[in-house]
Amino acid sequence: MDVVKPGTVGWQVKSTKSLIPLTWKRAKIRNSNALITESEKSAEGCQKLGDAIIDFCNAHAVESLDTYDLNEIGYSRLIMFEDNTAIYFEKLLCSKQNPLIFNKQDYTWKWSTQKLTTKKEQLTALHGVNIKTNKKAFAWHGRGENQLHFSGEFDWWPKIETPTEFGEMKFSKDFHAIKFKLSPEKVDWEKLTEFLNKPT
């Protein structure tokens, strides 16, 4: 958790440019060497390793709920676009009643193709594809620094066409969000925090 309000909500906070992949966390999987070896032999081995990655993410969320005595874990995100606009949104990830963020049944797993660059050899990554959308959702770099990239997060982005100057939030069941123009100089911090602290 990046921010915790004891007994209520913990927040995971992310901020990047729109085209930079989001790193969910470093996923150090127990018995990863043995699981990687098995994954190289069969599709079933790949699925077992992918399931272990999903279990790792869900277990970390459950641990955070217990450790900080939280009712919910939320996700807040600031996305910076090339046209000097930004989207800020908040999304409910899980709760004590529904503690699992991801469902193992939603993903199928396979290793990426080996790539060679001019500077160095790029190690293969284990890709998790969302069965419903047929799009890559995860890339686990377990042969290197264990980074878990989550591109499935793109599907969480709210669809807001018209930016406003700290106008009304867009509400749905799971999140509220705003798209706004960035000043060529600075965003008025007091005005932004006053807006974000409006009761929902």
Q: Decide if 9 contacts 70 (C-beta within 8 A).
A: yes
Write out pLDDT tens, residues 98-137. 999 999 999 999 999 877 655 555 789 999 999 999 999 9
The Cα–Cα gap between 95 and 83 comes to: 36
The DSSP secondary-structure symbol of 189 reads H
The DSSP secondary-structure symbol of 133 reads T
Long-range CB contacts (within 8 A, 24+) of 95-102? 95/65, 95/71, 96/65, 96/70, 96/71, 96/72, 99/58, 99/61, 99/62, 99/65, 100/58, 100/61, 100/62, 101/57, 101/58, 101/61, 102/54, 102/57, 102/58
Domain containing 7 equals: 3-196
Give the three-state DSSP class for 97.
Answer: coil
* Overall domain count for the chain: 1
Which pLDDT score is estimated for 160? 67
Regions of the chain with pLDDT less than 70: 1, 7, 116-121, 160-175, 183-189, 191-192, 195-200
Residue 186: other Cβ atoms inside 10 A: 7
Which pLDDT score is estimated for 161? 62
The Cα–Cα gap between 93 and 72 comes to: 8
The model's pTM: 0.81
